[in-house]
A and B are shown apart, each in its own frame.
Chain A
Amino acid sequence: MAKPIAGRSFIATFGLVFLAIAGLFAADTFLAKTDRAESHIEATRLFQQGQSLMAKGDSLAAVARINDALAIERGNNDYLRALAEAQLAAGENSDSEVTLTGLLNTNSTDGPANLLMARVLMREGRGADAVSFFHRAIYGLWKKDPEGNRRRARLELIDLLAQQNSKEELLAELLPIQDNAPQDLDTRTRLGDLFLRADSPSRAADVFRGILHQMPANLPAHRGLGQSEFAQGDYRAAQRDFQAALRISPDDAASRHWLDLCDQLLQLDPTLRGLSADERWRRSVALVEFVQSDVGACLKPDSPPELQELAAKADAAVKAHVNPAHESEASEANLDLAEQLWQVRRKECQPPASSDSALALVLKRLAR
Chain B
Amino acid sequence: MIQQLRSNLDRLRRNEDQLALVLSLLIGALVGLVVVAFILLTGRISARMYPAGGAGWRRIVVPVLGSLSTGYLLWRYFPNARGSGIPQTKAAIFIHDGRILFRTVFGKFFCCSASLASGIALGREGPSVQVGAGLASVVARNLGLTPKQVKALVPAGCAAALAAAFNTPIAAVLFSLEEILGDLHATVLGSVVLSAATSWMVLHLVLGDDPLFHVSGYQLVHPAEFGVYAVLGVVGGLGSVCFVKLLLGLRGWFMRLPKKTAWFQPVAGGLTVGILGYFVPEVLGVGYNQVEKVLNGNIVIKLVVLFALLKIVATSVCYASGNAGGIFGPSLFIGAMMGAAVGGVAHMLFPTVTAGPGAYALVGMGTAFAGIVRTPWTSVIMIFEITRDYTIIVPLMISNMIAFFISQKLQKEPIYEALSHQEGIHLPTAESRIHDDRMQVEQAMRLNPLVFSPDAELSAILDQVRAGAFNAWPVVGELGLQGMILNAEIEKFVAAGDAHKKLSEVLLDASADGHAMAPHVHPDQSLSLAMERMGTNHVNVLPVVSRANVHQLVGIVALEDILNTYGFAKRGGG
Verify that A and B bind, or say they do not.
Answer: yes
Which residues of A are interface residues toward B (Cβ below 8 A)?
1-11, 13-14, 16-18, 20-21, 24-25, 27-29, 31-32, 34-35, 38, 42, 45, 67, 71, 74, 98
Q: Which single residue of chain B is at the shortest CB-CB distance from A22?
A: B33
Across the interface, A32 reaches (CB within 8 A) one of B207, B293, B298, namely B207
Q: Which single residue of chain A is at the shortest CB-CB distance from B47?
A: A38
Let me know if A31 and B144 touch, CB within 8 A. no
Q: How far is the CB of B144 from chain A (nearest CB, A)?
A: 3
The verdict on A42 contacting B52 (CB below 8 Å), with A3-B146, A4-B13, A21-B26 known, is yes
B115-165 at interface with A (beta carbon < 8 Å) = 139, 141-146, 148-149
- Provide the B35-60 mask, 1 if CB < 8 A to any CB of A, else 0: 01100110110010000100000000
Across the interface, A11 reaches (CB within 8 A) one of B6, B43, B207, B210, namely B6
Which residues of B are interface residues toward A (Cβ below 8 A)?
6, 9-10, 13-16, 26, 29-30, 33-34, 36-37, 40-41, 43-44, 47, 52, 139, 141-146, 148-149, 202, 206-207, 210, 214, 216, 289, 292-293, 298
The verdict on A5 contacting B40 (CB below 8 Å), with A17-B26, A17-B30, A21-B26 known, is no
The verdict on A10 contacting B26 (CB below 8 Å), with A29-B206, A98-B216 known, is no
Let me know if A10 and B144 touch, CB within 8 A. yes
Query: Would you list 25 pairs from A and B whose C-beta atoms are within 8 A, ordered by A residue?
Result: A2-B16, A2-B145, A2-B146, A2-B148, A3-B146, A4-B146, A5-B144, A5-B145, A6-B144, A10-B10, A10-B143, A13-B142, A13-B144, A14-B143, A17-B26, A17-B30, A20-B30, A24-B34, A25-B202, A28-B40, A31-B37, A35-B43, A38-B47, A67-B298, A71-B292
Let me know if B210 and A74 touch, CB within 8 A. yes
Let me know if B144 and A21 touch, CB within 8 A. no
Q: How far is the CB of B160 from chain A (nearest CB, A)?
A: 12
Let me know if B37 and A4 touch, CB within 8 A. no
The verdict on A13 contacting B214 (CB below 8 Å), with A2-B149, A28-B40, A42-B52 known, is no
Chain A residues with CB below 8 A from B292, complex form: 71
Q: How far is the CB of A211 from chain B (nearest CB, A)?
A: 51
Q: How far is the CB of B100 from chain A (nearest CB, A)?
A: 16
Chain A residues with CB below 8 A from B34, complex form: 24
CA distance A27 to B34 in the complex (A): 10
Chain B residues with CB below 8 A from A6, complex form: 144
The verdict on A45 contacting B146 (CB below 8 Å), with A2-B16, A11-B9, A74-B210 known, is no
Q: Which single residue of chain B is at the shortest CB-CB distance from A13?
A: B142
Chain B residues with CB below 8 A from A25, complex form: 33, 202, 206
Q: How far is the CB of A12 from chain B (nearest CB, A)?
A: 8
Chain A residues with CB below 8 A from B10, complex form: 10
CA distance A138 to B202 in the complex (A): 43
CA distance A14 to B29 in the complex (A): 13
Let me know if A35 and B139 touch, CB within 8 A. no
Q: How far is the CB of A363 from chain B (nearest CB, A)?
A: 56
CA distance A74 to B202 in the complex (A): 21
Q: What is the predominant secondary structure among interface residues of chain B facing chain A?
A: helix
CA distance A28 to B143 in the complex (A): 25
Q: How far is the CB of B207 from chain A (nearest CB, A)?
A: 6
CA distance A9 to B142 in the complex (A): 7
Let me know if A32 and B144 touch, CB within 8 A. no
Q: How far is the CB of A74 from chain B (nearest CB, A)?
A: 6
Across the interface, B33 reaches (CB within 8 A) one of A11, A28, A38, A45, namely A28
CA distance A42 to B50 in the complex (A): 13
Across the interface, A45 reaches (CB within 8 A) one of B52, B143, B210, namely B52
The 3 closest A-B pairs by CB, nearest first: A8-B144, A2-B146, A24-B33
Q: How far is the CB of B34 from chain A (nearest CB, A)?
A: 6
CA distance A5 to B145 in the complex (A): 6
Across the interface, A8 reaches (CB within 8 A) one of B6, B15, B142, namely B142
Q: Which single residue of chain B is at the shortest CB-CB distance from A8?
A: B144
CA distance A67 to B210 in the complex (A): 17
Let me know if A24 and B30 touch, CB within 8 A. yes
Across the interface, A35 reaches (CB within 8 A) one of B6, B9, B40, B293, namely B40
The verdict on A10 contacting B40 (CB below 8 Å), with A2-B146, A28-B33 known, is no
Let me know if A27 and B37 touch, CB within 8 A. yes
Q: How far is the CB of B165 from chain A (nearest CB, A)?
A: 14
- Can you add 20 more A-B contacts, CB < 8 Å, to A8-B142, A21-B33? A1-B14, A4-B13, A8-B144, A10-B9, A11-B6, A11-B9, A13-B144, A17-B139, A20-B30, A21-B30, A24-B33, A27-B37, A28-B37, A31-B37, A31-B41, A32-B40, A45-B52, A67-B293, A67-B298, A74-B214
CA distance A13 to B43 in the complex (A): 31
CA distance A23 to B385 in the complex (A): 30
CA distance A21 to B34 in the complex (A): 9
Chain A residues with CB below 8 A from B52, complex form: 42, 45
Let me know if A31 and B142 touch, CB within 8 A. no
CA distance A7 to B142 in the complex (A): 9
Q: How far is the CB of A67 from chain B (nearest CB, A)?
A: 8
Chain B residues with CB below 8 A from A11, complex form: 6, 9
Q: Which single residue of chain A is at the shortest CB-CB distance from B29?
A: A21
CA distance A98 to B36 in the complex (A): 33
Chain A residues with CB below 8 A from B143, complex form: 4, 8, 10, 13-14
CA distance A75 to B143 in the complex (A): 45
Q: How far is the CB of B185 from chain A (nearest CB, A)?
A: 22
Let me know if B289 and A71 touch, CB within 8 A. yes
Chain B residues with CB below 8 A from A28, complex form: 33, 36-37, 40, 206
Q: How far is the CB of A191 from chain B (nearest CB, A)?
A: 43
Let me know if B145 and A31 touch, CB within 8 A. no
Q: Which single residue of chain A is at the shortest CB-CB distance from B208?
A: A32
CA distance A218 to B202 in the complex (A): 71
Q: Which single residue of chain B is at the shortest CB-CB distance from A31?
A: B40
Let me know if A13 and B37 touch, CB within 8 A. no
Which of A1, A8, A28, A67 has the most chain B CB atoms inside 10 A of its CB?
A28
Chain B residues with CB below 8 A from A7, complex form: 144
Q: How far is the CB of A160 from chain B (nearest CB, A)?
A: 29
Q: How far is the CB of A60 from chain B (nearest CB, A)?
A: 12
Q: How far is the CB of B397 from chain A (nearest CB, A)?
A: 27
Chain A residues with CB below 8 A from B29, complex form: 21
CA distance A98 to B217 in the complex (A): 11
Q: How far is the CB of A3 from chain B (nearest CB, A)?
A: 7
Chain A residues with CB below 8 A from B33, complex form: 21, 24-25, 28
Chain B residues with CB below 8 A from A18, complex form: 26
The verdict on A31 contacting B26 (CB below 8 Å), with A5-B146, A10-B144 known, is no
Chain A residues with CB below 8 A from B44, complex form: 31, 34-35, 38
Chain B residues with CB below 8 A from A21, complex form: 26, 29-30, 33
Q: How far is the CB of A151 from chain B (nearest CB, A)?
A: 35
Across the interface, A14 reaches (CB within 8 A) one of B9, B41, B47, namely B9
Q: How far is the CB of A308 from chain B (nearest CB, A)?
A: 62
Q: Which single residue of chain B is at the shortest CB-CB distance from A98?
A: B216
Q: How far is the CB of B28 from chain A (nearest CB, A)?
A: 10
CA distance A98 to B298 in the complex (A): 14
The verdict on A10 contacting B13 (CB below 8 Å), with A28-B40, A28-B206 known, is yes
Q: How far is the CB of A46 from chain B (nearest CB, A)?
A: 8
Q: Which single residue of chain A is at the shortest CB-CB distance from B27?
A: A17
Let me know if B37 and A24 touch, CB within 8 A. yes
Q: Which single residue of chain A is at the shortest CB-CB distance from B288?
A: A71
CA distance A14 to B140 in the complex (A): 10
CA distance A1 to B521 in the complex (A): 33
